[in-house]
Structure 1
């Protein structure tokens, strides 16, 4: 009995020690930022050197260099990275990752972290293309124009650095990301080159309605349209009351700042046609789109 208690005591102490080490080391193991709160002070510096003399597309699109205000030098000093927004995307989508990269590299304003300096690691110069939220997924000529402008932007960026400098691309496309994760599942059963849908989703079963002065429950995918239309109507009503313009065409908003104001559905699928259907995943998927409306979050996203 005494031997068993002794073994149990030693084992318990070992568990406590391992847990203590794990908890004390985890913040630094996760990132040099540790448990410091993440903040963003974004600024975007127009790269006017890429002009219509280089490409006529510069009159339509632009190139920006992200810089964290009062935290990193305004001039390029490290390794170039180019953020290429996806369908209806914006150059401003780069701010979270660019800000985090800057604040992890510089432990204090303009002072590189010893963890990076000791390994001779350079900071990232994060550039971002601005395509004015064009719908490249809906129009092949637009996609070709964006690709051509991206090529000119890469050449321009590399001209700012010593020879043999490499550039790391950084992309954002919700639909492309889903296709990459999907792999060969349901291959040949859908048109990858068409318009991806749905954009959003909502409750489709046990929906309360009033018909001929009586309450009842209905179900069906057609319930989504009036539900989401009601949400948008309420938002527009508040925007107009506040002296702000209504939302108008929603997709540019939904596929940028609005996406984070939706409840992302990440489980389930839509089986049918002798298949398991498409699986729901984080961000966009062909089962629930970007997610279901969260009215409180949407109010914040539209500036109310």
Structure 2
């Protein structure tokens, strides 16, 4: 589907999505460059942040470039192989976003609630293992969906009611037994939605409790500001993502589903550098010193 059939709006939509894509890629790549080039930023928090920026860049690259090409060519056709490839990459990087956001909350939790054990609990070796675990779990989810999709032998329709090959929408087009689709949808929703969300809520309850015990009002404000920025991204990503994914089994209009998908596939990766990356003084200080601006 496209956002509008109006020919007059097509150049506007093309420019809008192209600009959003370029801003997202540039912003996240600047974060990666800043973190990798400054040894003072080689800490667990910035390690997960730079990997989140990389995942966000890859995540938005699985959907927006194809959408931009579709708008420019006035074609909304995608082959079955390309569709499965897009589904696989989309789920891979979406799950990485999911898990990395959870790991960042855990990092905040350890730093605030167990500061004396922070160096031990969040040592470089453990952080790298946590990153590998996130990649493994993301690949597992991606391939699980692909295995289910490959079992589909017929489709009741060939029109996907979204601007990309949404995994939930693709499974919903199957005219075969719906039991497997329902099991996969809700199993993945529980594993990659309920458990991470429960963990985030638990960690944030502990974090808020610890912050309220800080005697300095300035210290409380700084801690709340950092956590608040991250929490806003978490709510935006999880709220729209889980709502759209689990809502695929329920009746909803395609336009609302597309807008919700747009929020977590395009808007959230674009806001990531601005909400809690570029507002960080250490990141800003490093970005201003990059030789890139002297060219």
* TM beyond 0.5: no
Larger radius of gyration between Structure 1 and Structure 2: 1
Relative to the length of structure 1, the TM-score reads 0.22
Larger relative strand fraction: 1
Higher relative contact order (CA 8 A, sep 6+): 2
Larger relative helix fraction: 2
Relative to the length of structure 2, the TM-score reads 0.23
